[in-house]
A and B are shown apart, each in its own frame.
Chain A
Amino acid sequence: AHPVIDNGPPKKNSGRGSGGGRGGGRNAEPPPMPMSSPLMGKKKKPFLGMAAPLGYVPGLGRGATGFTTRSDIGPARDANDPVDDRHAPPGQRTVGDKMKKNQEDDEEDLNDTNYDEFNGYAGSLFSSGPYEKDDEEADAIYAALDKRMDERRKERRELREKDEIEKYRMERPKIQQQFSDLKRKLSGMSDEEWLSIPEVGDARNKRQRNPRYEKLTPVPDSFFSKHLTTGDKHTTVDPLQGVSNLNLPGGLESPYPGGMTPGLMTPGTGELDMRKIGQARNTLMDMRLSQVSDSVSGQTVVDPKGYLTDLNSMIPTHGGDISDIKKARLLLKSVRETNPHHPPAWIASARLEEVTGKLQVARNLIMKGTEMCPKSEDVWLEAARLQPGDTAKAVVAQAVRHLPGSVRIYIRAAELETDVRAKKRVLRKALENVSKSVRLWKTAVELEEPEDARIMLSRASHTTLPSLWLALARLETYENARRVLNKARENIPTDRHIWITAAKLEEANGNTQMVEKIVDRAITSLGANGVEINREQWIQDAEECDKAGSVATCQAVIRAVIGIGIEEEDCKHTWMEDAESCVSHGALECARAIYAHALQMFPSKKSVWLRAAYFEKNHGTRESLEALLQRAVAHCPKAEVLWLMGAKSKWLAEDVPAARSILALAFQANPNSEEIWLAAVKLESENNEYERARRLLAKARSSAPTARVFMKSVKLEWVLGNIEAAHELCTEALKHYEDFPKLWMMRGQIEEQSEHNEKAREAYNQGLKKCPHSMSLWLLLSRLEERVGQLTRARSILEKSRLKNPQSPDLWLESVRLEFRAGLKNIANTLMAKALQECPNSGILWAEAVFLEARPQRKTKSVDALKKCEHDPHVLLAVAKLFWSERKITKAREWFLRTVKIEPDLGDAWALFYKFEMQHGTEEQQEEVRKRCENAEPRHGELWCAESKHVLYWQKKIGEILTQVASKIKNTF
């Protein structure tokens, strides 16, 4: 049984029966709402919770009929109740009928038939009479009488009433009383018990608990289309109207020009047309776009120049549009009239007419223009262009009269002449007027024969134009050219080009010793003439000389100029920069000269030697490099790198004894240098002189017992197959350097190679105890376990390693791959997600993640990866592979190139690139990749290291490893 919750009766309508007028509507104050029932849900009945209208008779409104079945119990039905008979004649059946009848009965019927002898008349006889004083008195007497009678038995009656209520309560106790015994126990409740009273849950199902809210559905298009048939008064947006609005100066600021709002914003109600709205939107878009383009081209800005150029550019494009031309014509006319001395207006007008085909009008216009603006070169030129042959000449002649100093007009005049002699004549005349124009001279000289040209130039030589001198010098023979240049120098003592040309001239004629002198004299004489020596310009000149093949001049210039205007402490820095910029400009001789100078100044600076050496290595010959290195080690004997470079260069030239001797010298200079020891060992072992290598190593161990020396010793024994010796050496090495992880790795690998898995594991474990932060050691151990089939162990090892080395992508990657190899792709995926969370910027993880995805998702993943690590070679490589797998050859090649450019040390990228070219590229491309790879000498990369560090391939060259790695790569994406 459920406890009853007493809603309590809602308040009765307080105004019921008071006030007049029935059917007076609803009460102003609504009764309190009863608990809204969730079962009513969305369609709540409007009458629920409403008060009844005043004077409402229940059952009346709906014509209710009743029935009598049980007259034995309960009171008999009232006389005014509806009759039992369902089929009673109309007028007696319903509640309403009965009421009508009652009302009729209520009418006082005072006729004699209503009189009863005992009771008198049925109604009050005097109810209609006035209420007078004696009536009041009588009422008071009766009231007093009633009161008296009431008081007589009051106590007894009240007692009896109380008893009755109690009896009633015993039968039907209040809910409050029903629970009184239980409530008494509440006093003994503890706080905990109070607090642990469970919440009243909502036992209803979900749909009942959450009644659905009102849903708004958009009006369907079909509704509109149906209503459209009633009338089609829709307004459309006129694009021209909009454009004309836009052309107003203010139109630019307001994005919705006023002219179109009526069409768009206030559509007639019920007359919407979706299609037209779409069109209007397109029109609006068009207008906005053209508006933007207008503002870009500056049309709306009122700037006559810009406006005119805009019009000029506009006319040909809209040639067919007559209204546009008319408008343009009008505008240009107004421009001409308001500002007749503005040449562009005339030109624009003439061009407009020309474009529209009215050539004569155009000519008239431009001639008028020449009258209005006689000093404008452009107008004259335009006129000459528009006029036909002879008239054009006349025009030019007129122009020359107005503008005697205009070079362009003379040139134009010369162009107009068809005859060479006439041209020459024109130009000569021009040169008389304008003797300083290089352009005129040039044109004139070009027309002449070499002999005449020389004469002409010698005539011109009293001018101060250096280019003329130089041109003349070029035309002359050596002796004459010298003379010309000397003369030029006297005439123009401030131009450096003359000096440099002189130097070049001397060099070209074999007087190299003169070059130096000339350049020195140039500097001093220019300085004496107050010319500031600009280093950059001189270096530029030197570069030009270099390109022209005048090496001596170039070197001389560099030597002379390089030190000018530089502080002592900036020297090295600036020179190195200069050298690099020269290299990048391709002026190798310049760079060489700069380095040579720098080395002269700083013979003991290791960095300068190094740079010079690298420069020679990259751009020079082997001889030059070796010569340089020899000098270098003489100056800096402590620089191991220089020694090593020398030895390597010798070795690469297959001159092993020379290499050996260099190394021997290096030993003398740097006794006990690990680098040199190891280089010597490498040299010997690469040349199959194992015994010598062994002896060297033994010596090295005794004199410079470093970890690396030990490692190399072990490695040598290992690769030579002396497992025993390797073992012993390894043990000995570990005594000294037990925290050197590579030794442990080698030990483990040697064990693994000879199938002693237990020992290998032991070695790895010991190693990990000493160096828990060596990733490779962890990886080797886990791979060992995986290989012997202990998947769980491998997993736990990796987990441990991740704990000890958080945020190490290598370990995560191995975990992911472990799961992937075990076929658990789901786990691999989740692990990858975790890994990416921990190391979000790790390229190798992202690259792997791309290929973990299903094929269609790879592209998006790769985009993510690129976003996260833009410059990571692994990601770039993954993208390249992705394109490769989609056979987008050019794109893949592009990405491969990008990868090897960003990280030339990554062998995997080279190998993949090579493989790619083997499949899709030409022979040349393959060869190029191979060469570039050999130059880059990559040493890293997973696949690469697996091959290059393999015991069996220890003597392989880069190219061989490249082909080997490439051949092992399978296209399994």
Chain B
Amino acid sequence: MSYMLPHLHNGWQVDQAILSEEDRALVIRFGHDWDPTCMKMDEVLYSIAEKVKNFAVIYLVDITEVPDFNKIYELYDPCTVMFFFRNKHIMIDLGTGNNNKINWTMEDKQEMIDIVETIYRGARKGRGLVVFPKDYSTKYSY
């Protein structure tokens, strides 16, 4: 479902997207549209996009087309989802040890919505790190 979601095609667009969003959380999926992992993730993201549109906006970035952030955000995985709020990278503690991003596929839509909502609520209060009640350390090992 990647074609249903907006893509950012260069670094400037990515920066503009992060900068321009005033009161919504920004969800960026870094990866490739053709990648099976990304496909699954995109499916979930697309299906929640309408539901979260009031407090979050979702973009897709091809890391081959836009390699500019590969190093600083360590985009080595096939699929990475990162969150921003008012030009601030929001970290989320999912119990995996890496609080910077989600680099696995979420399969449950409601969980993804909850994650985005948690991010948004925390970020609104000025937090840089939010804690999600569910622990993914055993479920997704990497």
**Which residues from chain B contact A49 at a C-beta distance below 8 Å?**
9
Bound-state Cα–Cα, A722 to B139, Å: 106
| B101 CB, min distance to chain A CBs, angstroms | 9
Q: Does A562 contact B (CB under 8 A)?
A: no
CB distance B14 to A58 under 8 Å? Answer: yes
Is B17 in contact with A47, judged by CB distance below 8 angstroms? Answer: yes
| Cβ–Cβ contact A7 & B7, under 8 A | yes
Query: In this assembly, does B36 line the interface, its C-beta being within 8 Å of a C-beta of chain A?
Result: yes
CB of B50 closer than 8 Å to a CB of A = yes
Number of A residues near B (Cβ < 8 Å) is: 50
Cα distance A2–B44 in the bound complex, in angstroms: 13
Nearest chain B CB to A44's CB is how many angstroms away? 9
> Which among A2, A4, A50, A52 is the interface contact of B11 at CB below 8 angstroms?
A52
B6 touches A5 (CB 8 A): no
Contact of B12 among A40, A47, A63 (CB under 8 A): A47
- The answer on a CB contact under 8 Å between A34 and B9 is yes
Q: Of A38, A51, A67, A77, which contacts B100 at CB under 8 A? A: A67
Bound-state CA distance A45–B1 (Å) is 20
Q: Which residues, 53 to 109 on A, are CB-close (under 8 Å) to B?
A: 53, 56-70, 73-75, 77-78, 81-82, 95
B121 on the A face (CB < 8 A): no
Give, as a whole number of angstroms, the nearest-CB distance from A47 to chain B: 4
Contacts of A53 in B (CB 8 A): 12
- In the complex, the answer to whether A47 meets B50 with C-beta atoms within 8 Å is no
Q: Which residues of A contact B19 (CB under 8 A)?
A: 61-62
Taken residue by residue from 112 to 133, chain B's Cβ proximity to chain A (1 for < 8 Å, 0 otherwise) reads as 0000000000000000000000
* 1/0 contact string of B56-74 vs chain A (CB within 8 Å): 0010001011101101111
A62/B9 contact (C-beta < 8 A), A1-B36, A9-B65, A39-B50 known: no
Instruction: Find out whether the CB atom of A45 lies under 8 angstroms from the CB atom of B17.
Output: yes
B98 to chain A, nearest CB (A): 6
- Whether, in the assembled complex, A149 has its beta carbon less than 8 Å from a beta carbon of chain B, the answer is no
Q: How far is the CA of A323 from the CA of B121 in the complex (A)?
A: 80
Given contacts A58-B12, A65-B89, A69-B98, are A81 and B5 in contact (CB under 8 A)?
no
Kindly list chain A residues whose C-beta atoms are within 8 Å of the C-beta of B71: 66, 75, 77-78, 81
> How many whole Å from A80's CB to the nearest CB in chain B?
10
Please indicate the chain A residues that have their CB under 8 angstroms from the CB of B100 in the complex. Answer: 67, 69
B25 within 8 A of A: no
**A204 CA / B47 CA spacing, docked (Å):** 10
Q: Which residues of A contact B10 (CB under 8 A)?
A: 13, 51-52, 56, 58
- Please, how many residues of chain B have a CB less than 8 angstroms from a CB on the other chain? 44
Q: Which of B16, B19, B33 has most A Cβ within 10 Å? A: B16
* A contact residues around B18 at 8 Å (CB): 62
- B6 to A, closest residue via Cβ: A37
Contact yes or no, B34 A39, CB < 8 A: no
Interface centre among A5, A49, A59, A175 (most CB of B within 10 A): A59
Whether the pair A7, B3 counts as a contact (CB closer than 8 A) is yes
> A2 CA to B74 CA in the complex, in Å?
28
A59: which B residues are within 8 A, CB to CB? 11, 15, 68-69, 72
Min Cβ gap B113→A in Å is 15
Contacts known (A2-B39, A6-B34, A39-B6); A69 close to B74, Cβ less than 8 A: yes
A contact residues around B68 at 8 Å (CB): 57-59
Answer whether A40 and B13 are a contact pair too, CB < 8 Å, given A62-B18, A67-B74: no
Nearest residue (CB) in B for A84 is B72
A residues 1-39 touching B (CB-CB < 8 Å): 1-2, 4-7, 9-10, 13, 31, 34-35, 37-39
Question: Using a CB-CB cutoff of 8 Å, which residues 20-75 of chain B contact chain A?
Answer: 20, 33-34, 36, 39, 43, 49-50, 53, 58, 62, 64-66, 68-69, 71-74
Q: Which residues of A contact B15 (CB under 8 A)?
A: 58-62, 64
Indicate if the CB atoms of B66 and A58 lie closer than 8 Å. yes
Q: How far apart sit A37 and B1, CA to CA, in the bound complex (Å)?
A: 11
Q: A208 near B: Cβ within 8 Å?
A: yes
A48 at the interface (CB under 8 A from B): yes
User: CA of A740 to CA of B72 in the docked complex: distance in angstroms?
Assistant: 107
A37 to B43, CA, bound (A): 15
Known: A38-B4, A62-B19. Is A4-B39 also a contact (CB below 8 A)?
yes
User: Which one of B11, B18, B64 has the greatest number of beta carbons of chain A within 10 Å?
Assistant: B11
Which residue in chain A gives the minimum CB-CB distance to B21? A45
A37 vs B58: C-alpha distance when bound (angstroms)? 11
B4–A1 CB distance below 8 A: no
Residue from A7, A58, A61 whose CB has the most chain B CB atoms within 10 Å: A58
CA distance A398 to B2 in the complex (A): 115
Contact of B62 with A9 in the complex, beta carbons under 8 Å? yes
Whether A56 touches B74, Cβ cut-off 8 Å, given contacts A37-B5, A69-B98, is: no
- Chain A residues, Cβ within 8 Å of B72: 59, 64-67, 77, 81-82, 95
- Assembled-state Cα–Cα distance A52/B14 (Å): 10
- Cβ of A10: which chain B residues have Cβ within 8 Å of it? 9, 65
Q: How far is the CA of A34 from the CA of B59 in the complex (A)?
A: 13
* Distance of A175 Cα from B36 Cα, bound (Å): 13
Closest-CB distance, A809 to chain B (whole angstroms): 58
Bound-state CA distance A861–B8 (Å) is 64
Give complex CA distance A285, B65 in Å: 69
A5:B3 contact, CB within 8 angstroms: yes
* A78, B74: Cα distance in complex, Å: 12
Given contacts A37-B4, A38-B4, A175-B34, contact A68 B74 (CB under 8 A): yes
Which A124-147 residues have C-beta < 8 A from chain B? Answer: none
> Across chains A and B, which 4 residue pairs bring their CB atoms closest together, nearest first?
A58-B11, A66-B72, A52-B12, A58-B68
A-B CB contact pairs (8 Å), 12 listed: A4-B34, A37-B6, A45-B17, A47-B12, A52-B10, A56-B11, A58-B68, A64-B15, A67-B73, A69-B100, A77-B71, A204-B4
With A39-B4, A48-B6 given, can you name 17 additional A-B contacts, CB distance below 8 Å? A4-B2, A4-B34, A9-B9, A37-B4, A45-B20, A50-B12, A56-B10, A57-B68, A58-B12, A59-B11, A59-B15, A64-B69, A64-B72, A65-B72, A77-B71, A77-B72, A78-B71
Instruction: Please give the residue numbers on chain B whose beta carbons come within 8 Å of chain A beta carbons, in ascending order.
Output: 1-20, 33-34, 36, 39, 43, 49-50, 53, 58, 62, 64-66, 68-69, 71-74, 76, 87, 89, 98, 100
